[in-house]
Amino acid sequence: MRNLTMLMDFYELTMANGYFVKGYKDTWAVFDMFYRKNPDNGGYVICAGLEQLIEYVQNMHFSEDDIKYLESKKIFDKGFLDYLRDFHFTGTIEAVPEGTVVYPNTPLVTVTAPVIEAQLMETMLLICINFQSLIATKASRICLAAGDNVIMEFGARRAQGPDAAIYGARACYIGGVNATATAIADINYGVPAIGTMAHSWIQFFPSEYESFKAYAEVFPDTCTLLIDTYDILNSGLPNAIRVAHEVLEPMGKRLKGVRIDSGDLAYFSKKIRKKLDEEGLSDCKIVVSNSVDEYLIDSLNRQGAKINSYGVGERMITSKSDPVFGGVYKLAAVEDTTGSVNGDEKLFIPKIKISENVEKITNPGKKKLWRIYSKETGYGLADMLTLSDEVIDGDGVTPFVDESKPWKKMRFKNVIAKPLQVKIFENGKLVYDIPKLEEIRELVKYQLENTVWQEEQRFANPHAHYLDLSEKLYKIKTDLLSLSESSDQ
């Protein structure tokens, strides 16, 4: 397992050194990881990457080479460097399980730990959750557009590096993709790997027919032929049909599919389907690739394209239409070290980040994230943030505040309220059973079919999922904002 502890922004180290020197080594803090805007102006996000975050936290340590590097910068306290020699995570991490459908401004991961420990994991935590959540969400949108048609991930060669290719294939599978072209993703994560041929196979042989014949003889049970190397309708398709009749059928086999990687996909798919049906090959699938995404698939559907399967590459593995997931990691509370206690629980002082941009003002305090479901339909009505010690009684009446209409008296009645975060680490120990990838994938499927409104899943102007605050949390937030206003006068 790679040690990625030093994969961090340098300011995390300078701040950690400062906390140590100023005597805050043992002071606990609460950090929330959340994001502010859904990619592609969509209605939801699929949270992913938690398993890789767990691996990172379990392996956090500073090697002697790391310590020597920090010594060479000549700015770090010797006591701090000695502290790093014995560093390991001792705090608590709570997070929404991978595959959970999530929305803006809700904490996906909450870290409660000594401030140095919490600060030092900022960059890697964001890398793990931001990238895979972005790609899983893009994959989900593409699969939604494709309906019952098969989606295959073809993006490795366009990914921004080997990790992006591997973890991207994993995230695509979580989002609903059926298979990957990336072999190592099958080895590491069990994402089914598939593949047939490239244009080079056809070019290598003396003729297109001979290349198809050779492939059919080697792979008679899974024969899909790439028919756009020279001329789709006048060469590729006739040669594929000839191989189906002359090579495969005498063996009792069927041509599984034909694939095109260029041209007008709607036009050619309709022409190909007509000819295949005329030749008694109605069971032969049509596979297409070439800069496919949810928008193109939606357009092809409206054009009546006859496509059974899509190979999706660069536009999914890079989320090309919106390639940045803006997850952030913000301080929400600091331990009250004045001697106040609440039983065995630490008390925390809420902290808030204020900005001229209203959307960048954070929700303070140690919080709990709930999802409110309709008892009648099972669909999510809203998400709600409360203080960590508040409990929502779904059978009763729960008042809340909608920040866009704070003057309006709002309440939930007779609903189902479920906490979304689960405990991952406690006192530095992993206490979470990591689910299998298939289970994560099935969770996504279940939610999109049973708990997420269709209105939130549309591509154009989706319904915005509500985020409400408890009255106590809203008061703390407005009190902190008022204090800030007073101090500026």
pLDDT tens, position by position, 422-443: 999 999 999 999 999 999 999 9
Q: What single DSSP character describes residue 247?
A: I
pLDDT tens, position by position, 152-208: 999 999 999 999 999 999 999 999 999 999 999 999 999 999 999 999 999 999 999
Contact between 52 and 7 under an 8 Å Cβ cutoff? The reply is no
Separation between Cα atoms, residue 61 and residue 87, nearest integer Å: 6
The Cα-based distances of 291 to 131, 153, 297 in angstroms read: 20, 12, 10
**Alpha helices by DSSP H, 2-47:** 10-21
Burial class from Cβ neighbours inside 10 Å (0-12, 13-18, 19+) for residue 287 reads buried
pLDDT tens, position by position, 106-141: 999 999 999 999 999 999 999 999 999 999 999 999
Residue 246 corresponds to which tokens in the numbers above? 């002359």
- pLDDT tens over the chain, length 489 residues: 789 999 999 999 999 999 999 999 999 999 999 999 999 999 999 999 999 999 999 999 999 999 999 999 999 999 999 999 999 999 999 999 999 999 999 999 999 999 999 999 999 999 999 999 999 999 999 999 999 999 999 999 999 999 999 999 999 999 999 999 999 999 999 999 999 999 999 999 999 999 999 999 999 999 999 999 999 999 999 999 999 999 999 999 999 999 999 999 999 999 999 999 999 999 999 999 988 999 999 999 999 999 999 999 999 999 999 999 999 999 999 999 986 666 568 999 999 999 888 889 999 999 999 999 999 999 999 999 999 999 999 999 999 999 999 998 899 999 999 999 999 999 999 999 999 999 999 999 999 999 999 999 999 999 999 999 999 999 999 999 998 765 544
Contact between 162 and 175 under an 8 Å Cβ cutoff? The reply is no
Counting every residue written for the chain, the total comes to 489
- Reported CATH class of domain 10-134+323-487: alpha beta
Amino acid at 408: K
Nearest partner of 269 among 184, 154, 365, 149, judged by Cα: 149
Strands 150-153 and 179-180 come out as: parallel
Start-to-end CA span in the chain (Å)? 54
Contact between 61 and 117 under an 8 Å Cβ cutoff? The reply is no
pTM score of the predicted model: 0.96
Separation between Cα atoms, residue 440 and residue 443, nearest integer Å: 5
Nearest partner of 337 among 90, 19, 22, 26, judged by Cα: 26
CA triplet 375, 378, 384: central angle to 5 degrees?
80
3-state secondary structure of 403: coil
